[in-house]
Chains A and B, each alone.
Chain A
């Protein structure tokens, strides 16, 4: 089973910031949080990942709470091309790295 919980869907107005939450209350100390997105009928695309510090790249920002039990992916200025399913997963660089995905959040960008 997936170790993360995400809302099934969200709406965001074009040009506004999209904030996608993820709950990972059972995360362990050496597990990273990864975010991916999947545009219809394509393979998922890596967005960002982090361990405990906030991270930012050209695509998004990742905010991880101090207790690491939840995180938020921020798309600062959403466009119609950001319409996709967003997956949050937790992984540890361990012997048995199964990489389990949940159902993700379907983000609708409204014009």
Chain B
């Protein structure tokens, strides 16, 4: 089945450690996105990529980094510079501009 796979579903890390969240899609979508969601809040855009080897900062990019070396993959690294990394992270993709967005099932990151 085609879809977006985020792994792992739950992730625990110690404060000060970098951690990379995986996002893989087999939908042949060009554009991919990372969002952060805090309890009771909406989705905030971290980074997005319209094409391989290119990406742009969203509204809350500080403390995060991404890469887009392959069309299928858009990993997100939460660095130690991110002051409050505990959150629910969602990856999304869309085939081209203006089409409906597909979402992964999310990764819940807890930093202790």
Chain A contacts to B: CB under 8 angstroms? 2, 32, 34, 36, 41-46, 49, 85, 87, 91-104
Contacts and interface: CB of A to CB of B under 8 A. Distances in A.
B90 A97 contact: no
Contacts, number: 65
A46 B50 CA distance: 20
Given A100-B45, A102-B42, A103-B41, A93 B101 contact: no
Nearest to B3: A43
B105 interface: yes
A99 B101 contact: yes
B56 interface: yes
B64 interface: no
Contact of A98 (B4, B48, B98, B102): B48
A103 B42 contact: yes
Contact of B100 (A49, A96, A102): A49
A43 B90 contact: yes
Contact of B106 (A36, A41, A97, A98): A41
Contacts of A101: 35, 42-45
Interface string B24-49: 00000001010100000111110010
